[in-house]
Amino acid sequence: MTKCDVAHSYRAAGVTDRLPIAVLVSGTGTNLQALLDSVHGRDAEIVAVASSVAGAPALERAAAAGVETGVFARAEYPDRGARDRALAGWLAERGVRLVVLAGYMELLGEPFLERFPGAVINVHPSLLPAFPGLGAIEQALAYGVKVFGVTVHFVDAGVDSGPVILQGAVELPDAREPEEVLAALRPLEHELLPRAVALFARGALGRDPHNPRRIILR
Ligand code: GRF
């Protein structure tokens, strides 16, 4: 089974019409809200929201939507691997088939990724491979770019280095402040992330046999 066939096999098993997904958050949760308002209850069912930060506003959004929440703070575990295993176990117990990182400010290692092969996606506020990691918008402003953007990608063991699913760009030749760029990118994020989740849930994402890094729609 190729990595992107996870949703397909799930469908074939006829478990339910909606793909059970989890959303991992650390902060405000506007991307979580976009998912709750669009794909939740349609192509996918958000069955769990996990935060790396206790008291993150995103948790209130989940609770308001009646979605179960959990907090997995790095400091509560002896190391990252232990946190990864606890988090993966909690999600697996809830039948999660796709993990969506929506403003999740932690790295996930192999112990986590091996539990959800080819089924972890992230939204990042730059046109990858430019400006991976923390402070992407600040990095782009410091570089002096004229075009900013958003990438939704599969997660691998690197930092924002997995195959690209969707990208969107916006021209901001005069931008100076991160807040201004963020405001322009928000609507793109809120459109692209739910769209990528819906495509995954429909089994519509495949790999180009000539270039497995290239995600194709089928
Ligand atoms: C977004 O800009 C996302 O691209 C980045 O973190 C931010 C999360 O925002 N990874 P929110 O918590 O979804 O509002």
Q: What is the pLDDT of residues 32-57, one digit of tens each?
A: 999 999 999 999 999 999 999 999 99
Q: What is the mean pLDDT of residues 161-190?
A: 98
Q: What is the C-alpha radius of gyration for the chain, rounded to an integer number of angstroms?
A: 17
What is the band of 8 on the pLDDT scale with cuts at 50, 70, 90?
very low
List CB contacts of 129: < 8 A, sequence separation 6 or more. Answer: 160, 161
Q: What is the pLDDT of residue 200?
A: 98
Q: What is the pLDDT of residue 34?
A: 98
Q: What is the pLDDT of residue 17?
A: 84
Q: Determine whether 123 is exposed, middle or buried from the number of CB atoms within 10 Å of its CB (0-12, 13-18, 19+).
A: buried
Q: What is the mean pLDDT of residues 72-81?
A: 96
Residue 8 is among the residues annotated as catalytic for this protein? no
| Cut 0.85: pTM above it | yes
Q: What is the pLDDT of residue 1?
A: 39
Residue 150 CA: which ligand 1 atom is closest?
4
The answer on pLDDT for 10 being more than 50 is no
Name the residue of 189, 192, 193 to mutate for ligand 1: max ligand atoms within 8 A of Cβ: 189
Please say whether the beta carbons of 194 and 140 come within 8 A.
no
Q: What is the pLDDT of residue 72?
A: 98
The answer on pLDDT for 84 being more than 70 is yes
The answer on pLDDT for 76 being more than 50 is yes
**Mean of pLDDT over the chain:** 94
Would you say how long the chain is, in residues? 218
The answer on pLDDT for 149 being more than 80 is yes
Identify each DSSP E strand in 16-173 by its residue range: 19-25, 44-51, 69-71, 98-101, 120-124, 147-154, 164-171
Identify each DSSP E strand in the chain by its residue range: 19-25, 44-51, 69-71, 98-101, 120-124, 147-154, 164-171, 205-208, 211-217
The answer on pLDDT for 188 being more than 70 is yes
What is the band of 16 on the pLDDT scale with cuts at 50, 70, 90?
low
189 lines ligand 1 (CB under 6 A): yes
Please say whether the beta carbons of 32 and 50 come within 8 A.
no
118 lines ligand 1 (CB under 6 A): no
The answer on pLDDT for 103 being more than 80 is yes
The answer on pLDDT for 3 being more than 50 is no
